[in-house]
Chain A
Amino acid sequence: MNGRILAMDKTIHEQVQTLLPWFVIDKLTGEELELVNRHLHVCEECQSDFTWQCKLQATPPNDETELNVDSAYAKLLPRLIPTQAKAQRWSLSGVMSNFWQKNPGWIQLALAVQFVAIIGLTVLLASPTGNVAMYRALGSNMNTTGNMVVVFSPTISEQELRRILQHAGARIVDGPTVTDAYLLNVPEEKLDGSLRDLRGERAVVLAESLRSGGHP
């Protein structure tokens, strides 16, 4: 009889030993919580273990690395933008197809006529006039890949923004995103200098290179 009770106590002791870490962090409920509470009153070994684990929990090891959330986020941002643009394109096509299905035939016909007229006018305007060199689409012959991300102060004026970009030799490739970030492009050889210039501007909140191995 005594032997059986001792064996039962041993089993309970082992169960409590297993559950003790989650008792320390207050994650036990119901029967498990009751079991540990009851056993702790009578078991010195578990009481001592409980105290030891409380000390361990109260002494979290030091963080050994320094990381800046803004700099890390700036590196992730360009990876999000293409996904977001894709999602927006999808939703635009969805709206278009919805509109096309839900409206009566005469509206569709009117829209089609209007569309043809617009195309005709565009062709007319875009046809060569003998002075081709005068026209050049913005962005042609330009590198359109962003190599830095910049966040300006929300109070910056358009004039000031233009001045900063011209001074840094940078062009806007994309943005502003919802977080007010702009993707910029500057010639690779001027990247470090431009970054320095941008960081020196009071109206620039954040300027980070997207070049791999770039330093914040």
Chain B
Amino acid sequence: MSRDEETEQRKRMDAGSQPAGGVLRNIELHDEQLIRRIASHDLQAFDALYRSFFPRLKRFLDRMTHSVTMIEEIINDTMLVVWQKAGTYNGTCKVSTWIFSIAYRKALQALRDVDDPVEIDFEQVSAETDGQPEHEITQRQQQRNIGRALDALPLEQRTVVNLTYYHGMGYQEIAETMDCPVNTVKTRMFHARKRLKTLLSGLMG
């Protein structure tokens, strides 16, 4: 895969869509090479990895905390750990899983005693779209509704939904990222879907 193709695939990942399996494997191999170079304190490799993960971590953390300052601090704290501990990465999980698990722990530390599920008045959301033909409910409104519904979920359920649908992670990867059993991931997803269906009923067809 050429550098241009890889850049294009990364842009798609940044936007939330998942590339095909072979391409994904190439990106993973490239990430592993970067980590090996970072372990020898190669700042150029770190620069590349930082810029590659920044949009993904931002999207992930955006759903955990809506504070710009906090997101930037968590990303930098996470990447500082990557810089300092790259030598301890042993390849038993993907580089992305390793980095996301650090970011998740850092975010939990930052959010401790701060994060409460947001109480959303969904009647108000519904009222904004009630009575309108379905085609007039724009994609943007749908995205806003989904964002607000996600914010109403408990943090753990929100994280599982976010990592699954918008970061393309399998249940095993999510379990590693969140440091919990696979069955816990599945249960959280089950309850999250149930709640999302109620919150978004009539808004998503």
Chain A residue, CB-CB nearest to B76: A76
What separation, in Å, do the CA atoms of A55 and B144 have in the docked complex? 14
Contacts of B44 in A (CB 8 A): 178-179
B62 and A24 within 8 A (CB):
no
Is A98 an interface residue, CB under 8 A from the partner?
Answer: no
Chain B residue, CB-CB nearest to A29: B170
* CB 8 Å contact bits of B178-190 with A (1 = contact, 0 = none): 0000000010011
What separation, in Å, do the CA atoms of A25 and B165 have in the docked complex? 7
Chain A residue, CB-CB nearest to B75: A72
A25 and B76 within 8 A (CB):
no
A83 and B59 within 8 A (CB):
no
Q: Which one of A34-42, A58-66, A140-148, A197-205 is at the interface?
A: A58-66
B166 and A60 within 8 A (CB):
yes
A18 and B170 within 8 A (CB):
no
Is B117 an interface residue, CB under 8 A from the partner?
Answer: no
A177 and B204 within 8 A (CB):
no
A65 and B71 within 8 A (CB):
yes
Is B135 an interface residue, CB under 8 A from the partner?
Answer: no
Q: How far is the CB of B182 from chain A (nearest CB, A)?
A: 11
Chain A, 68-83, CB within 8 A of any chain B CB: 69, 72-73, 75-76, 79-80, 83
B165 and A52 within 8 A (CB):
no
Contacts of A22 in B (CB 8 A): 164, 170-171
| In-complex Cβ contact of B41 among A25, A26, A73, A84 (8 A) | A84
Chain B residue, CB-CB nearest to A54: B165
Is B98 an interface residue, CB under 8 A from the partner?
Answer: no
- CB-CB under 8 A for A59 and B143, given A18-B190, A73-B50: yes
A64 and B76 within 8 A (CB):
no
Is B193 an interface residue, CB under 8 A from the partner?
Answer: yes
- CB-CB under 8 A for A79 and B143, given A24-B165, A63-B62, A67-B58: no
Beyond A27-B169, A55-B204, A57-B165, 20 extra complex contacts between A and B, CB < 8 Å: A18-B189, A22-B164, A25-B168, A52-B205, A56-B204, A59-B143, A60-B146, A61-B144, A61-B147, A62-B147, A64-B62, A65-B62, A67-B68, A67-B71, A72-B54, A72-B76, A79-B80, A80-B46, A83-B84, A178-B47
Q: Which residues from chain B sit less than 8 Å from chain A, CB to CB?
A: 16, 18, 41-44, 46-47, 50-51, 54-55, 58-59, 62-63, 66-68, 71-72, 75-76, 79-80, 83-84, 139-140, 142-144, 146-147, 150, 164-166, 168-171, 186, 189-190, 193, 196-197, 200, 204-205
23 A-B residue pairs with Cβ-Cβ distance under 8 Å, sorted by A, are A18-B189, A18-B190, A22-B171, A53-B165, A59-B143, A61-B146, A61-B150, A62-B140, A65-B62, A65-B68, A66-B68, A67-B72, A69-B50, A69-B51, A69-B54, A73-B50, A75-B76, A76-B76, A76-B80, A79-B76, A80-B83, A83-B41, A179-B43
